[in-house]
Amino acid sequence: MGKDKLKRFAEMETFQRVFQPQVDYHSPEHELRGCWNEKVFFNTHPIVLELGCGRGEYTVELAKRYPDKNFIGIDIKGARIWRGAKTINDEQILNAAFLRIRMETIEKFFNRAEVSDIWITFPDPQPREAKENKRLSSLLFLKRYASFLKPDGIIHLKTDNFPLYDYTYNLVESINASVIAATDNLYHSTDIPLNLDIKTAYEKKYLAEGKPICYLAFRLPSDFISKISFAKSDQLP
């Protein structure tokens, strides 16, 4: 491991709103589950997640734009998270935090109806069919999100990968989710909706290569959320 990475990892240990718990499938629910507002943000504002956040561009920029909401960037890559974590630390952006975990353990960190919205920004498309359950917009992950997403919560997917966009769109329709917005060429129009103008490092690279950007926003059906929540209710505090 390079010296720069080691330096960044050591620096992240000093940041107040960066959490790097050692968890796996068999770990108990984390102490922050259901307590993010109380123990981290010290307010009652809505919580928004950025999944596969990379450098955390969406987490940081949304936190700046919406001081009345709390934002948590989640990724497993510590060297990437460092950039966003350093920004919120240096600029004292108090309504943002970062969580370094494997996404498969996300349910251990958020309680029922604790999260208002989810952004999935340029995730690994996992193109092989055998890897379908690893896609952050797969049915398995939608069920995970349903266990902690508010009934009116919105899931946003932004990707350069059309097969992932198409797969997600078809899945969303199959479960009767409400599609709020859908486009396979976001920047074809000059009238870009608010918050979609935020560009990650990956997005800038893809745009420079002439790749179209896809965007999908949807709400899970209420019965889908209630079924998942009910199934897990005996595990909730």
Among 42, 21, 6, 10, smallest CA distance to 99 is for 21
Distance CA 97, CA 67 (A): 13
Q: Is 124 a catalytic residue?
A: yes
Among 155, 82, 87, residue whose Cα is nearest residue 121 = 155
- Give the type of residue at 146: A
Answer yes or no: are the C-beta atoms of 161 and 125 closer than 8 Å.
yes
Spot the catalytic one: 4, 68, 117, 124.
124
CB atoms within 10 A of CB 42: 10
Residues 40/97, Cβ–Cβ less than 8 Å:
yes
Question: Strand 214-219 relative to strand 149-159: parallel, antiparallel, unpaired?
Answer: antiparallel
Task: Sort strands 149-159 and 70-75 into parallel, antiparallel or unpaired.
Answer: unpaired
Catalytic residue IDs: 124
